[in-house]
Amino acid sequence: MFYVYRLRYSSETALNTALLSRGVLVDNSEFGIQNGSNTLSVVRLGTLVDVPATYNEDGSEDVAATYISGYHCDIKVKEELTFSSTNSIIPNNPRHGIKWAEDAVNL
């Protein structure tokens, strides 16, 4: 069994701190930051576009894009973890499919 978490933190640094503190990532002095032994995948989505920009026929931007706040990441791990309700989210419009997480417990 494995668990999938969709996360949002204020920055990539804040996300890395949270993942390191839970063992999702480990800091290996020889190879740098790597996935922990119970980590199957880390999908870094970064900043997400909420409403795409629109452009006129000349290619000039008419309306600028708007963005969803925070730095977004999906993880798949072999153990249940705890994240605050602020950081563990259920997106209304997922940015990528969940095929990679079939048969997972989505938390």
pLDDT above 80: residue 18: yes
Residue 22 in tokens: 């839970």
The residue whose two tokens read 């706040």 is 69
CB contact at 8 A, 16 and 25: yes
Which amino acid makes up residue 37? S
| Domain spans, the chain | 3-106
- By percentage, how much of the chain surpasses pLDDT 70? 84
What is the model's pTM? 0.78
32-64 pLDDT, tens digit each: 999 999 999 999 999 989 899 999 999 999 999
State whether residue 105 is helix, strand or coil. Answer: strand
